[in-house]
Amino acid sequence: MILRYDRIATELPPPSDPDPAGAAVVQELLGGRFGEMSTFWNYTIQSFNFRGRQGARPFYDLVANIAAEEFGHVEIVATAINTMLTGASPTPNGNGRAKLDPTKSPLAAVKGIGNPQHFIAGGQGALPQDSNARPWNGDYVFSSGDLVEDLTHNFFLETGARNNKLKVYEMVDHPAARALTGYLLVRGGVHQRAYARALTGYLLVRGGVHQVAYARAVELLTGADLTKMFPTPRIPTEKIPECRPHLERKEHTKLYRFSPSDYKEIVAVFT
Ligand code: MN
Ligand code: MN
């Protein structure tokens, strides 16, 4: 079951100047291949499919709890998109769309700017689409049933997600988009580290497997372990002002548990 709180994961600035073109770009972080719907559904499906959960702890705990956090990321990306769309045109329940004269083309100002479906299909709100308005696709989900494969995939997914967030940060200067990407860049780094640690921990537990032998051989030869791949991609979060408050609050070092009493074995992966 999921416990839901009526608040978003971190504070975003209130609506300011609308930016429908920027809102269309931020859609990539919601419904793109490396967006929050993808991280949410990958980890959710993987967590549903764990057989022998008790024996698979702490890895089951890890995937299940990161899945829950990703739901909150979907929510906060949608909030940022809606913030950026606020005021782009009159909204039905905002400032009296009913009073407008349709013959005066009240939506003409947003034609050719951003995603027309934000205005045609909905009331200037987020959609489960990428930045090209393609719908999110269930084929983005990888759930092989093999823990090492899934963890490796999840590591790669978090890597791509951070890369896309940086690109969006570079493309969109709206304060809501920058606050959003600043927060998600910091949290995504935690997830990458958690998956890498889980993977190396798991491989070490299963001594005798070829992968472990290779991993150990590489470590013996070079001193390298998977966690040494950080940071990847190389994003200087300490130089991004919107990342700094989250770094100061040590959000880049915490893995959340999304239950008051369950999933306590997660500490075995992340301490
Ligand atoms: Mn996320
Ligand atoms: Mn993540």
CB 143 within 8 A of CB 150: yes
pLDDT of residue 127: 97
CA of 180 to the centre of ligand 2 (A): 13
In sequence order, what are the beta bridge partners of 135? 129
Tens of pLDDT along 57-79? 888 998 999 999 999 999 999 99
Ligand 2 centre distance from Cα of residue 161 (Å):
8
Helix (H, G, I), strand (E, B) or coil at 246: helix
CA of 47 to the centre of ligand 2 (A): 14
Q: Is the pLDDT of residue 208 over 50?
A: no
CA of 161 from ligand 1 middle (Å) equals 8
Mean pLDDT of all residues in 130-135: 97
Q: Which residues contact 248 (CB under 8 A, 6 or more apart)?
A: none
The per-residue pLDDT for range 174-203, each reduced to its tens digit, is 999 999 999 999 998 888 888 877 877 666
DSSP classification of residue 182: H
CA distances for 21 relative to 10, 134, 174, angstroms: 23, 16, 10
Q: Which ligand is closest to the CA of 158, given by its number?
A: 2
Ligand with minimal distance to 76 CA: 1
Q: How close is the Cα of 174 to the center of ligand 2, in Å?
A: 23
| Distance separating alpha carbons of residues 63 and 48, to the nearest angstrom | 10
Name beta bridge partners: 129. Answer: 135
Q: What percent of the chain has pLDDT over 90?
A: 47
* Rounded Cα–Cα distance for residues 201 and 226 (Å): 10
Q: Kindly give the distance from the C-alpha atom of residue 249 to the centroid of ligand 2, in angstroms, as a whole number.
A: 18
CA of 70 to the centre of ligand 2 (A): 6
Nearest-ligand number for the alpha carbon of 183: 1
- Please name the residue that has the structure tokens 């997660």: 266
Query: Which three-class secondary structure state does DSSP give residue 129?
Result: strand
CA torsion through residues 135, 82, 74, 5, sign? negative
CB 30 within 8 Å of CB 78: yes
Ligand 1 centroid to residue 184 C-alpha, Å? 6
> What average pLDDT does the chain have?
85
- Cα(251) to centroid(ligand 1), Å: 13
d(C-alpha 94, C-alpha 146), whole Å: 49
Q: What ligand is nearest to the CA atom of residue 164?
A: 1
Which of the ligands is closest to the CA of residue 192?
2
State the ligand closest to the CA atom of 63: 2
pLDDT tens-place string over residues 144-157: 998 888 888 888 89
How many angstroms separate the alpha carbon of residue 67 from the centre of ligand 1? Answer: 9
194, amino acid identity: A
Whole-number CA gyration radius for the chain: 21
Tokens of 267: 């500490």
Number of neighbours of residue 140 by Cβ within 10 angstroms: 17
Kindly report, residue by residue over 159-178, the tens digit of the pLDDT.
Answer: 889 899 999 999 999 999 99
For residue 78, report the distance from its CA to the centre of ligand 1, in Å. Answer: 12
Q: What is the 211 CA–ligand 1 centroid distance (Å)?
A: 28
Reply yes or no on whether the pLDDT at 238 is more than 60.
yes
pLDDT of residue 215: 46
Q: For residue 52, give every residue at least 6 positions away whose Cβ sits within 8 Å of its Cβ, in sequence order, or none.
A: none
Segment 236-262 mean pLDDT: 85
Distances (CA, A) of 155 to 92, 138, 198: 42, 19, 10
Six token digits for residue 77: 């990306």
Band of residue 209 on the pLDDT scale cut at 50, 70, 90: very low
- Answer for the pair 77, 28: CB distance below 8 angstroms, yes or no: no
How many CB atoms sit inside 10 A of residue 108's CB? 9
